[in-house]
Structure 1
Amino acid sequence: MDDFLAFYNTLEVDKGLIVMLMLMLMSFFVAIFHTFILIGLYEINLKPKWLFFVLNPLSVGLCSLYDNKLAALVAIGLFLSVFVLGIVGMIYAMIRSSYQSSKEESERRERAGLAKIPLWKKILYSVSGLLFFGFVLTLGVPYFILIVFIILPFLTSIFKPSNKKRFYRIQRTLPTSNIRSVAMGLAEISGTVKMIEPMISRIGKKECIGFLYTIETVSTDKDGKDSYSLESSETICKPFYVQDKSGQIKVITEGIEFIDFEIDERYQSSNKRYTQYLLKENMEVLLIGKASVKENNKPVFEKEEIKNVFGIATVESVDNHNTLRPILQSAGYFIYFWVILIALIFLTPVKLRNNQLEIGKINLDLPFQNSKPVKSLDDFYDNIYDSYESKPEEEIYSQPASGAEPVPATESTQSKQTE
């Protein structure tokens, strides 16, 4: 408590309306981070959305009426709370995401008839994650921000599994099979969609084979820019045939996922955005799933439970993805490399002490330690010349040349020396 009072008393804040307005403006910008952190990381539905944009400046303004030091202290507290909420929110979001992923994995393994993951493994994974965060936090707040907010999201974007990533990863390695000769098990087929039974879409009442229907919540910031968060997603699809030159196969559509389909219809109303994607007859598509045999010993195509993949994409979107992926991946690696490098440069302490340059724990001797200031090119060359002139002459000429051997004196040389 004494340390806090000492810190409070050492605060020097000018009195006046301008200082108060600056503190209130700073707290207003802090409110942006508070709002995004609580909505994004904690998934709290703030009502109203502008709560912190009023609460933060109001707190600073009321405190400034009593004492500007108190207002500055509140502003500092609001600023530091962003880091606390962000760090705790990241941990909370990762725990929530891990729990949801674990639940989905358990359900998938149960559908596939596989054994559940033991409880001790789940506990081990959770404890390992907490220990990792604790270790990173001991490195200091700057390195914690670098690792947690830059490096980890980058690695997560690469290695975090998703149905779309799984679909394209398998597609890159799995050959496309002819429908007539497709092997049982995980397979990739391509062909033209043929309708068995039509259905009506949600938007526009269009006849189709299936549709993906999404509802997103629209949020508008102070600059009028809209952001969208997925509220619900629904995929409904009737069984259909896929036909190529060799034959056709029936697709059992339970659990199918539409990947990179073009938007058919979209509209926005009452802070909601509604989007529809359609699967229609005669579309050229590529599917990844499992070929198996069902009723009447006829082959069908359905979801592959072990790999947890059953996706359909248009041939055009697959070709575009395979063309652009190497370019985007290289650009992403390049950008993240330089971001991390620049962050490390800013985080590494650099000191100049006793004619030594200290970069972290590396000490480098500075050249021209006793030189005069360099104001021109002539000064630079003079410093080089002076650095050699400053060495004792005996030290320069007393060192033998590398590879030189002593030569014995001749008789004439000895006689001259005697004279």
Structure 2
Amino acid sequence: MPSIHITNTSQHEQEFEVHGWNDNHNITVKPRSTSTITSPSGQQKSGAIIALHDGHEGEQAEITFNGGNFEWYDISVIVGAGGNLTIEQVGKPGTRKGDPRFMQDLRKAYASADAHTKDSLKSCVHLNSRGLVSRIDAPKAYPALEAFVRTFAEGKLYIGVGAWQGNKGDPGDNAQSSGTPGGNVDLQLIYSDADSTPEIHDSLKLSVKPVSSTAGFPDSEVEQAPMGKALAHIAKTTPHPSPFVGDADNGASGITLSNKSGAECTYFFFNNYWNGNGTAGANFDHPSRSVNLRSHTSAFVSLPESFKGRVQRGKFIPATWAEFQLDAGNGSGAWGNISLEQGYDGPATIRGDSVEGGFSFDILNGAPGAAVTERAQDKVKVLASTMGNWLGGPNEAAIKWETEKVGQKLAYITGGSGTIVVNSKRKRLLVDFF
């Protein structure tokens, strides 16, 4: 009896529309978890599992169990897309179909497209508040969109209508719809989003235990064995406590923290010792909490409304600071900015309800030697503090370099005014470290 194991590697719940199994009832897979669908025994059965994005159909797995020597499946974006989906026979990664970096390539292609192309796609390509592609409509309904998607995804998944009713279709699509040897065996679907690393699809290997044939969706009895340094364990049980996968998000105050760097990082939150009229007593040695995030993952961090301080990568300075308070006390909500006054160890951005501050490009490479220092505690090369404190006074070379490369508008360099300060009346901010 073949089963379909659906793994959601993202940091958010993901709903899937189901056709052909589970009485056609949808399923929601929790973050970093696996759910299992058991196929009816001894029956030829065809169906589809479709990812939903804000209620819109997206990428889908089309599957047919037929009891013969072949199994038929593919990954299709013909009705839309908003995430990455792959499918393979359990234990046989060489049977994979689908594209683990579809959304990343889509965003890159759209960002580099000319004005004419973007204009032709404006009715079927949807952007989020940051101007990034969040989903697309059905390529089969928009010839311009189908042609655009083929520029970066041809041969990786099913894009158009293919061979059908006398239409020869696209060779790449036809190849996707071919059968896979092996008969009726378990299938593994892996879902990720645009903030995931594509390698996460390669880091998982199923070790299947017997699953009862109860109706609907039984509790998962599937474990994910690690390959490399990606996910240590994914199951129906509580997510592994480290790295951090997020606090419960009930709409209260806090920040959504994203690690967009290429390495796993620990982030420390420092609440100020005191706060006055435009002044504050910075806390350098007693963080209130820390969270550990894998590369290219995000998580919600719940903080009290009284929090006024910063978050930084690591515990030590010099370092880039994301400074914020969650409740200004006058009904205006949260405020925040990016500061280089205590040094620079990588770019960062901060966003409120609409405005973004900070920057996402590196400024360490090429910096003059006089602006660079080695952080004493971990021997990491950083840009020196523009304030100095007990570190030897303001570093004039760092001030000049940061003013030239970043400017006072994007981040505080030496205090003063003119820096973007973001606001959120909802008392929630988004902070990205690169």
Name which one, 1 or 2, has greater alpha-carbon Rg.
1
What is the TM-score with the length of structure 2 in the denominator? 0.23
Query: If each structure's helix is expressed as a fraction of its own residues, which one has the higher value?
Result: 1
Query: If each structure's strand is expressed as a fraction of its own residues, which one has the higher value?
Result: 2
